[in-house]
Structure 1
């Protein structure tokens, strides 16, 4: 089993978006590199040879089964252990469909049956849909024996998937099941040019869809959907609603390029279309713009990637909140943001003024309509008593207006909870930790799980108006996007193109000290003084925990970590050294005290880089500050001498001064010979090379004191792991490279002439 990397701090077919039940500053400082393993015993993986695209996950909470949709296959896994032999349904494309697909100009890899939809139809069946070689089909899975249901004649019980499932595996798509009826947002033709939101199953007379108009849908990219049974909390007998989230081309702006805008659209479950106007079309389709903008920097994120629906107070529909993942159309560098929208804010926007798309600047805005019932509104109990039993009884004027004005004037605004540069988030899931913060009136704290396009899983905790990253875990050995995240009570399931991974929601044991445990700011972890261990708060009394401020130095007993032992470092003149100093957490900022006459030094994320000279000798100390509390983390005295006397660690990493001096002398002689042997042009190139060697690139931080460095293999698990220093420099000598190396235990190495302690 391949281990997953974790750091504590704060492509194949596109993913299938499964609907789910149910602000922080932009980072500028360098983040700490991964420095811990996620215990391999806590991570389970599932994959099967020849099968890929494990992008659809459906969790059955009561039976302990995880259903996985992949290419040409559907699996039933036991959540207790993914390593058990799974039950599997192979749903392959027929030879005739496969050949027809290729004859239409599609690639062979596209002419398979990519499972895009798994939804519980009822207690006994799952409704499943796949692309089926660009001819989407749907079938029924019996939960009793986990087989595809068949007709009396033995043939599979299948039906057309048009309007329920996309034709192409990479098309953006979403669907949700509401009381046994499927509501889907997808494309309706082979070319993918006709998008629609529809009630895709149920009674034939009640299957309705969106109007074919750019004012309704304009090249949308659907990402998520949610069923909110608002009638349960309504005193007015309101209808249940289905929400769809997507990005589309804005028609209300006239610009030199296509401007994309994120939207939320809503339809009512009781809508069955109009009698004359809007026949077989939604009469309650309204949409509003979502704004995710930082008011300080002015950064606006206009492309929606994913949405997770959460009840902030379990059981209360009115507490529903939508967490959205955004990127920007305008930023050159990769950047992501998370914004959250309350259901009440969305409802207010949809109950506000209608937007008139003006093509003439001199044309006045459309006045508010004096129409009854309100266009686009769901039918409440009082309206039904007044003579509007269903949407078929609505007046034509009301239907005509909502047909021409589906967009609302007022957007739904939010400022980012989290902004992350250099990262592209693909999926989000949110859970609630049983912890009440001083900044909140609720008894729970949201924890965000964010999947990236590089196979990483980030974890953040929402505190007030911002979310703080507390952990980053690399789950997959190659750069493959996370395509799905499903939450269970104690576990998390992640799907990608190559595998399904199960890992625990919490792993407090990785924090070995009180300071590390408290500084992690994990709502699911706290320090138990009686056990001298980091544990889950619910399983122990009197734990030390401070999620909001992380004031470990006030809570934790003195363990001497703020009084580091003075380390004497001896090295030869001209050697480049790295003095390690790792911040206790990602919120810490470290400052070095340097010798008075030090000409220059380069501070890195893992320490301080200096070149040993007479002026660089002296005392160095590293102090890290968090929450205005400073703590001395490392202290060194740099002297000229034999480095083997000051090196600490394994003997394999100690080098004698004689070997270093010999290699250094040989390098100088070769350099001098080359200088006198070649012309000025060659000499200038040589000086350029020497300058390049003097510039040390960033190297990875200390992984752990007890873990040996291993050979670099194509960014193993997404990290730059450097080879053993002996092997690197022995190989260099075999190739005629005479650069000398000094390696002291516990520090990274940037090149063969760098020495670190």
Structure 2
């Protein structure tokens, strides 16, 4: 495949022998090409790119000034494994985010696409940790989005650690039903987490997840499949004002879309609440008691460090065992839809906030930029409880889905 920027082009294709080997393993000709799934800017003026590379993910470094692939002294391409950083298959759900120069990913981690990981994929080898291989942690997930929330250096009195959030849809294990019910989730890990000493060794000790509920209370309609999330600060420069806007559809109804928004404050409250537990004797979910100290799953802060827990490696086994067995929170993060559209399937979302005047008063207007599965861009203004479609723009001549929306700010 090709990565194109303006008139410059880099060719990074799969060698013929490797392509034939991929096809011989039962994959299609198209899938055995190289699909670039990750492009992240590096601090030293380069771009880190990862591709599927015929079901053998690989990563390369792009020199921005010369716009070329970096090479070793012997002329060979500077390439490293992309396993854990990039999916094997071009159509697999995947998300990644850079946090302090370190890559965090949510992707499949094997050729068959049956194993899933949320991991710290780069950085010091000993600190590359991932989720436990347990259906209680991840149950056939479809990863959607991720966000790095960095604490305010000037206003962080408790010394809270930075956090990474992942959004996905998975098969629920908390419901005793015959059908596979999908549920949208938000999961959180902490930037300073380096795993446990014995229990949860090279695994997250801070992995917690909660259900996202997007429900129209008037009709009782619940939208249970999350397809995209856009992160925005309502007060620029204030991480605590972060909100997550999500596109939801339904597992049971087609061409039905809704947009719900969740605040970081609401998510944090749920993550600090009670845990959910399955009592083996009667197969009922209950709130476990007692919760060990220090609280399982919490991020490092000044209070923990003062108690001698300056690293996750210092956490007691009883705390790590508890969080290993109880990654799911009891309460859900609940929101009512900002808008619902019948007969339309939205695929991608971007959000802008603008100040508007009404008489002597000023109010915030949220503008949703929504891509459809038929290649249109819809612009929706949200003021209070009212959502108004103000523009529809056809983007493609064919009815192709919008797979990405990138906001571009014109400098004045």
Give the TM-score taking structure 1 as reference length. 0.53
Of residues 307, 317, 323, the one that matches 1:402 is 323
Residue correspondence of structure 1 range 281-360 to structure 2 within 5 A: 281-331=203-253, 333-360=254-281
Contact 1:141/1:149 (<8 A) preserved: yes
Structure 2 Cα separation of the partners of residues 445 and 97 of structure 1 = 52
> Which residue does the alignment assign to 1:422?
343
Within the candidate set 122, 129, 148, 1:208 is matched to: 129
> 2:165 maps to which residue?
243
Q: What SS does structure 2 have at the residue aligned with 1:487?
A: coil
In 1: Cα distance, 2:313 partner to 2:221 partner: 45
Q: 1:542-566: per-residue Cα shift (whole Å, max 9, x none)?
A: xxxxxxxxxxxxxxxxxxxxxxxxx
Question: Structure 1 residues 276, 231: closer, same or farther in 2, change over 3 A?
Answer: farther
Checking the alignment, whether the CA contact within 8 Å between 1:231 and 1:238 is kept in structure 2 is no
Write out aligned runs for 1:541-690 (5 A): none
Q: Which runs of 5+ in 2 are unaligned?
A: none
Counterpart contact for 1:260–1:302, Cα < 8 Å: yes
For 1:443 and 1:104, the matched residues in 2 are separated by 58
Corresponding residue to 1:376 among 289, 292, 297: 297
Match of 1:453 among 373, 382, 398: 373
Partner residue in 2 for 1:219: 140
Which residue pairs with 1:95 in the alignment? 16
Per-residue CA deviation, residues 696-733 of structure 1 (Å, 9 max, x unaligned), is xxxxxxxxxxxxxxxxxxxxxxxxxxxxxxxxxxxxxx
Q: Secondary structure at the match of 2:55?
A: coil
**Which is further off, 132-141 or 121-130?**
121-130
**Conserved 8 A contact 2:349-2:405:** yes
Question: Following TM superposition, by how much is the alpha carbon of 1:383 offset from its aligned partner in structure 2, in angstroms?
Answer: 1.0
Rounded Cα–Cα distance in structure 1 between residues aligned with 2:367 and 2:30: 38
Contact 1:416 1:466 in 2 (8 A): no
Is 1:254 aligned with 2:183?
no
CA distance, structure 1, for counterparts of residue 340 and residue 119 of structure 2: 34
- Residue by residue over 1:454-503, the C-alpha shift from the partner in whole angstroms, topping out at 9 and shown as x without a partner, is 00100011111342211111111111000100001149xxxxxxxxxxxx
CA separation of 1:438 and 1:292: change in aligned 2, threshold 3 A: farther
Partner of 1:367: 288
- Kindly tell me: are residues 362 and 378 of structure 1, through their superposed partners in 2, closer, same or farther at Cα, counting changes over 3 Å? closer
- Contact kept, 8 Å, 1:439 with 1:464, in 2: the verdict is no
- What residue number does 2:70 align with? 149
Which of residues 53, 56, 73 is equivalent to 2:2?
73
Describe the superposition over 1:265-290 as per-residue Cα deviations: whole angstroms up to 9, x where unpaired. Answer: 00000000000000000000000000
Distance 1:256 1:420, change over 3 A: same
User: What TM-score comes out, normalization by structure 2 length?
Assistant: 0.96
- In the alignment, is residue 484 of structure 1 matched against residue 404 of structure 2? yes
How far 1:337 sits from its partner (Å)? Answer: 0.3
RMSD (Å) for aligned C-alpha atoms: 1.8
Q: Distance in 1 between matches of 2:359 and 2:214?
A: 26
Give aligned pairs, total: 411
Give the 3-state SS of the residue equivalent to 2:390 in structure 1.
Answer: strand
Task: Quote the offset at 1:363 in angstroms.
Answer: 6.0
3-state SS in 2 of match to 1:205: helix
- Write out per-residue CA displacement over residues 678-698 of structure 1, whole angstroms, 9 at most, x where no aligned residue: xxxxxxxxxxxxxxxxxxxxx
Q: Using the TM superposition, give the Cα deviation of residue 365 of structure 1 relative to its aligned residue in structure 2, in angstroms.
A: 2.8
Q: Structure 1 residues 103 and 215 mapped into 2: Cα distance closer, same or farther (>3 Å)?
A: same
Structure 1 residues 341, 122: CA separation in 2 closer, same or farther (over 3 Å shift)?
Answer: same
Distance in 2 of aligned mates of 1:140 and 1:437 = 50
2:90 is equivalent to residue 169 of structure 1: yes
Aligned: 1:468 with 2:388: yes
Shift of 1:136: 0.6
| Larger RCO: 1 or 2 (CA < 8 Å, sep 6+) | 1
Would the aligned equivalents of 1:263 and 1:287 in 2 still touch at CA under 8 Å? Answer: yes
**Distance change (3 Å), C-alpha of 1:439 and 1:488:** farther
Q: Distance in 1 between matches of 2:289 and 2:393?
A: 52
CA-CA distance at 1:431 after TM superposition: 1.1
CA distance in 2: counterparts of 1:443 and 1:463, whole angstroms:
8
The answer on whether the counterparts of 2:274 and 2:287 sit within 8 Å (CA) in structure 1 is: no
In structure 2, how many angstroms separate the alpha carbons of the residues matched to 1:383 and 1:112?
Answer: 49
Task: Determine the C-alpha separation between the residues in 2 that align with 1:368 and 1:438.
Answer: 55
Partner SS, residue 92 of structure 1: coil
- Structure 2 CA distance for partners of 1:464 and 1:123, relative to 1, 3 Å: farther
Instruction: Find the residue that maps to 1:401 and give its secondary structure.
Output: helix
Alignment partners' CA distance in 2, 1:437 and 1:386 = 53
Alignment of 1:522-541 (within 5 A): none
Greater Cα offset, 244-253 or 444-453: 444-453
Q: Whose Rg is larger? A: 1
Residue 338 of structure 1 aligns to a residue whose secondary structure is strand
Q: 1:445 offset after TM fit, Å?
A: 2.1
Query: Aligned equivalents of 1:252 and 1:145: distance in 2?
Result: 53
